[in-house]
Amino acid sequence: MKVVWIASYPKSGNTWMRFLLHHYLFGEPRNSIELNRRIPDLHRPAGRIDTSQARVLVKTHFPLHEGLPYLALTDRAIHIQRHPKDVLLSGMNYARLESGRGPDAAAYVRRFIEAGGDPSWIEMGFGKWATHTESWRTTDRFPVHSVHYESLRADTPGVFRGVLEFLGETVDEARLARAVELSDFERMRDIERKEKARGGESLFRGGRESLERGALFMNKGATGQSLAHIGPGLDEEFDSAFAKVITKFA
């Protein structure tokens, strides 16, 4: 078995990439759990890896390190990088989704800045945004295809075509276009709404209660956002703290 990682810091487009790949490689999933079985999430019990396959694509938020499961079986990796300011804002939405009562926004921003990432994610072993990104972007252990989330949003067909070529797939333009269409954000949000309305098992966090509050796991997918609406000076504090690492991995 060969493992192909779909690696990213949390809230950086990993689920979107898995939808794109599932639609292209396996067809339209009947539900999010089917997606998670075909392209499992290392961090969820329902995402157990089928070791009988010749190649398996696996999601992870872990940095690349010696203790990474299945490391010896790794063939290659797709690394998705999103601007840490957009990651922060998406993480704040996720906190509201999980608890129903989001954190104090300004306090959350400052904790993220001081820690170099969401402290709860760091505690879970995902590391700081900078160290996580560096671990995947600078390795020479195996080939890594770097995807910028912003580029994927701006030119989904073009960037996804590069991902398929990296995987050694023959690119069928009709299938590619269909995969992009079916993985549109509003379509993914519709799947989430339907699953949460029905109840039961779902890939999407939050359950029916989050749907009633209007909070969705598949958020806006926005790029180039500002912290100005949270408080004065936060953009400047953030930019000062992250300027060097953002430039390094631009």
pLDDT (tens digit, 9 = 90+) per residue, 117-136? 999 999 999 999 999 999 99
Above 60 in pLDDT, residue 213?
no
What is the SS3 assignment for 157? helix
Ordered by start, the domain boundaries in the chain are: 2-248
Mean pLDDT of the chain: 88
Who's near 39: CB < 8 A, 6+ residues apart? Answer: 6, 18, 21, 22, 57, 58, 59
> What pLDDT, on a 0 to 100 scale, did the predictor assign at position 208?
45
Contact, 135 vs 148, CB < 8 A? no
Q: Which of 42, 69, 24 is nearest to 177 (CA)?
A: 24
Element (H, E) at 160: helix 156-166
What is the C-alpha to C-alpha distance for residues 58 and 48, in angstroms, rounded to an integer?
Answer: 10
Q: Which of 218, 145, 153 is nearest to 180 (CA)?
A: 153
**Model confidence, pTM:** 0.89
**Which CATH code fits 2-248?**
3.40.50.300
Above 80 in pLDDT, residue 95?
no
What is the C-alpha to C-alpha distance for residues 56 and 159, in angstroms, rounded to an integer?
Answer: 21
What is the C-alpha to C-alpha distance for residues 9 and 117, in angstroms, rounded to an integer?
Answer: 9
Mean pLDDT confidence for 170-177: 97
